[in-house]
């Protein structure tokens, strides 16, 4: 998440430095997890109706080989200076204190992610709509309970259901939830706003010579 956070902060700083330049994030295939983190730095997010958007959460995965190596007659030997140095080891049983530390770390990273989304999207987010959608997609098999009660809805909103629980959505649904501002694509949208002769530049990520400030200067000149 650090790289997404750094890009987010840099883009926010550039928005303040160049207030006349509107920053628009155009989503094509997906803006999920770290990609959405970065997109939230923009003034506006535009996506295709089939784009994958959201996944505001943190994940940590691994495998456990404790029984597997035991069947082979092997044992894991770890020597550390510091009780927490080894952390969760795939070849050792998970210790409760290590698991708690891992959960605490993930919760902290998740909180930072949520704060960035709230700061970037503001009152455009629709937490009650997202919570209702989450309720309906998990309680669909219970007849007669399509609409959550006010107390249930409040609990779901406070828990971040549908918004901050790692859920992903199509671009069309993301618009309804306030994760995306509207549907579109960058070529059509920019030509509609600035005319057919607008200059569109595709940036090659391997071209290190094109610094971001040069791109902004070009945008100020052309657009």
Which pLDDT does position 141 carry in this prediction?
43
What is the reported pLDDT for 127?
96
pLDDT tens, residue order, the chain (223 aa): 899 999 999 999 999 999 998 899 999 999 999 999 999 999 999 999 999 999 999 999 888 989 999 999 998 888 889 888 888 888 888 889 999 999 999 999 999 999 999 999 999 999 999 999 999 887 544 555 567 889 999 999 999 999 999 999 999 999 999 999 999 998 888 888 888 887 777 766 555 555 555 655 555 554 4
- pLDDT for 15 equals 93
Handedness of CA 7, 12, 121, 114 (dihedral sign): positive
Are the CB atoms for 131 and 125 separated by under 8 Å?
no
CA distances from 168 to 21, 51, 52, 138, 184 (A): 30, 10, 6, 14, 19
**Beta strands across the sheet bearing 52-54:** 30-32, 52-54, 168-170
Q: What per-residue confidence (pLDDT) applies to 215?
A: 56
What is the per-residue pLDDT for 194? 80
Q: What does the DSSP 8-state code read for residue 22? A: P
**Whole-number pLDDT of residue 204:** 62
């Amino acid at each position: 998440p650090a790289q997404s956070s750094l890009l987010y902060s840099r883009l926010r700083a550039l928005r303040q430095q160049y207030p006349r330049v509107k920053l628009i994030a155009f989503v094509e295939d997906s803006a999920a997890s770290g990609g959405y983190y970065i997109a939230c730095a923009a003034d506006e997010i535009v996506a295709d109706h089939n784009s994958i958007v959201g996944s505001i959460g943190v994940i940590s995965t691994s495998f456990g080989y404790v029984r597997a190596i035991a069947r082979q007659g092997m044992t894991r030997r770890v020597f550390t200076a510091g009780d927490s140095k080894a952390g969760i080891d795939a070849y050792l049983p998970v210790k409760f204190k290590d698991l708690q530390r891992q959960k605490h770390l993930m919760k902290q990273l998740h909180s930072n992610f949520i704060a960035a989304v709230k700061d970037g999207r503001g009152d455009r987010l629709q937490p009650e709509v997202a919570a209702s959608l989450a309720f309906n997609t998990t309680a669909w098999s219970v007849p007669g309970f399509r609409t959550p009660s006010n107390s249930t809805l409040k609990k779901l909103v406070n828990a971040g259901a549908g918004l901050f629980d790692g859920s992903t959505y199509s671009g069309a649904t993301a618009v309804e939830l306030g994760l995306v501002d509207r549907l579109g694509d960058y070529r059509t949208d920019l030509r509609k706003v600035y005319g057919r002769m607008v200059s569109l530049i595709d940036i090659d990520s391997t071209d290190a010579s094109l610094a971001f400030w040069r791109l902004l200067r070009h945008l100020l000149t052309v657009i």
